[in-house]
Amino acid sequence: MVIKTDRGFEHPTPSDITPREVFESRRRLLQGLALGAAGPSMALWAQRDARAMTAGPGKLAKLPGVASTIEGAVVMDKLTAYEHVAGYNNYYEFGVEKTDPARTAHTLRTRPWTVAVEGECAKPRTFGIEELLKLAPMEERIYRLRCVEGWSMVVPWVGYSVSNILRAVEPTGKAKFVEFVTLADRTQMPGLRSSVLDWPYKEGLRLDEAMHPLTLMAFGLYGEVLPNQNGAPLRLVVPWKYGFKSAKSIVKIRLLEKQPRSSWEQAIASEYGFYSNVNPKVDHPRWSQATERRIGEDGVFQRKRPTLMFNGYEAQVGQLYAGMDLRKFY
Ligand code: MTE
């Protein structure tokens, strides 16, 4: 069977196929939202349906979101199980092994929490986390996230477009880039004793990338607040870039005239460029980027998936890079 997916025409494997009840539930949900004007009861029913679909284990506070209507915000791939999303992490402040953060990040204190938004803007401001939680309606977005190391996940995030925060501070005409600075506190983060990176962990985007509606500030996943190891209380998710661009536990956002240097670029510029768009045609200097392993699909007979240009978000973000040599700007 050949089907049209958001990746184009291709043959699905059994693991590609979203279970029927989940798919139909999502379709009913989208139909329900489209019919939102028909009455609040339909919209409420649709939201309840979404919660049933992506409920977490119920150990953390609930953080529901309405299904996003932004183009590309809901991929139909099978979701990665919560236990893998919260159990297989990169968060070097809590150790360099994939299982370290889930074991050690309980020491992260997520309240009180503030985020200073400053630099090239007319109204610099420090937001409290409670203010940020109310700044814009929470949406559920189902994104692929692909790590530069060659594994990927599909996660139902809860949050809203980063553009909501940036607009609130009114960027000036000089603002061309956005830097995201994350928490670095030795009393909470055992990994800071290692000099593997120059702390705090920093990442950067061009302003137009940061303003793109798909660029998400996530506060939760699976309908609950973020587990600490996934970057509580708020983290970036840039679905068309390698996972390391998605900075966790953000404390500062700076609007800049000049391109900032991210922690990974500072550590090994030849391997981790500023752009870091998912690109199967540009190999990492030490390995191919043509395929990926979907977490939770391990097994001797499990084939690797082909990696998609811009992680499958080409239709939405390709125009941001029109005319650029993506081998040079890797
Ligand atoms: N943010 C901080 N502060 N520290 C980190 O080590 N690792 C990055 C990114 N954000 C990292 C970070 C990398 S390499 C990846 S792949 C993603 O977080 C992993 O996010 P996940 O644990 O939610 O899958």
Alpha helices in the chain (DSSP H): 20-34, 40-54, 82-85, 100-104, 129-134, 163-169, 207-211, 263-267, 314-317
Each residue's pLDDT tens digit, 227-277: 999 999 999 999 999 999 999 999 999 999 999 999 999 999 999 999 999
Q: What structural domains and CATH numbers belong to the chain?
A: 8-321 (3.90.420.10)
Q: Which atom of ligand 1 is nearest to the CA of 242?
A: 16
Widest pairwise Cα distance in the chain: 57
Each residue's pLDDT tens digit, 157-170: 999 999 999 999 99
CA neighbor of 138 nearest in space, from 79, 224, 52: 224
- CA distances to 17, 162, 221, 228, 292 from 80, in Å: 13, 24, 11, 18, 14
- Mean residue pLDDT across the chain: 88
* The pLDDT value given to residue 54: 73
Q: How many CB atoms lie within 10 A of CB 40?
A: 8
Q: How far is CA 73 from the centre of its chain?
A: 11
Q: What is the mean pLDDT of residues 123-136?
A: 98
Using the mean position of ligand 1's atoms as its centre, give its distance from the Cα of residue 243 in Å: 6
Predicted confidence band of residue 19 (pLDDT cuts 50, 70, 90): very low
Instruction: Give the residue, 20 or 94, on which the prediction is more confident.
Output: 94
Using the mean position of ligand 1's atoms as its centre, give its distance from the Cα of residue 138 in Å: 22
Which residue's C-alpha comes closest to atom 23 of ligand 1?
230
Of 202, 248, 311, the one to substitute when testing ligand 1's pocket (max ligand atoms within 8 A of C-beta) is 248
Beta strands 216-221 and 202-206 are unpaired
Give the Cα separation of 272 and 144 in Å (integer): 20
pLDDT of residue 27 exceeding 60, the answer is no
Helix, strand or coil, per DSSP, at residue 26: helix
**Which protein residues are within 6 Å of ligand 1, measured from CB?**
89-93, 145, 147, 182, 201, 230, 243-244, 246-249
Q: What is the mean pLDDT of residues 193-197?
A: 95
Which residue's C-alpha comes closest to atom 16 of ligand 1?
243
